[in-house]
Structure 1
Amino acid sequence: MLERTSLKDRTEVTFVLPTDTPPGPVSVVGDFNDWQPGAHTLTPRKDGMRAVTVTLPAKSEHAFRYLAAGDYWFDEESADGHDGLNSRVRA
């Protein structure tokens, strides 16, 4: 799930997943962090989910995927779009 907060010249995009699906650590990797695993690791929230927030320039679009333990890559089903292997998010 994606949550957005629009600010003057940027958008805070929060990437949200259930705490245990998939199990183990998960990070969001994309063109906004040079596809670096671990740069944006999801952490537990009080609502039973885990999340990480990334600040992106307003009116931009980015490719991303999730990376879980065991080199398990997966997409965001509720993304703004998909292009081949990647999910897309509009800020």
Structure 2
Amino acid sequence: MSLKKKLLKSKPICKVTFVLSKEQARDASNVHLVGEFNGWEVGVAAMRKQKDGSFTATLDLPTGREYQFRYLIDGEIWISDPEADKYAFSPFGDCENSVITV
């Protein structure tokens, strides 16, 4: 997994590409990117499956803040991003949410 950030010069926006590797996706049929940036709505940000088996999604996020997020694999398995900028305790169990700073 990886996070790629690209700041836009013309606006206070950062283009963030989220990548879930084939190994992490575990032969998934679908993966959703779920977080503060989409109100933790499960079906909003479907990631696109790539030819190599990885999944990607690119979002335009306003700069100057942090966003918590996780990946949802096949509607059942929640995972965090090991390359996140940091982690935050989740109030919904004994897991940690990934955090990206833009």
CA contact (8 A) 2:31 2:55 kept: no
User: Runs of 4 or more off by more than 4 Å in structure 1?
Assistant: none
**Distance in 2 (alpha carbons) for counterparts of 1:51 and 1:70:** 16
1:87 corresponds to: 98
**Distance in 2 (alpha carbons) for counterparts of 1:70 and 1:32:** 19
Q: TM-score, normalised by structure 1?
A: 0.88
Identify which of 36, 39, 43 aligns with 1:31. 36
Letter in 2 for 1:15: F
More strand by share: 1
2:8 corresponds to: 7
* Residue 70 (structure 1) shift: 4.3
Residue segments in structure 2 that go unaligned for 5+ positions in a row: 90-95
User: Given the superposition, is the C-alpha separation of residues 54 and 18 from structure 1 closer, same or farther in structure 2, using an over 3 Å criterion?
Assistant: same
**Distance in 2 (alpha carbons) for counterparts of 1:30 and 1:44:** 19
Task: Please provide the CA RMSD for this pair.
Answer: 1.5
Aligned residues: 90
Identify which of 9, 17, 21 aligns with 2:20. 17
User: The residue matched to 2:78 in structure 1 has which SS?
Assistant: strand
CA contact (8 A) 2:85 2:98 kept: yes
Identify which of 73, 79, 97 aligns with 1:74. 79
Letter in 1 for 2:77: Y
Residue segments in structure 1 that go unaligned for 5+ positions in a row: none
CA contact (8 A) 1:43 1:50 kept: yes
- What is the percentage of aligned positions where both structures have the same residue? 33
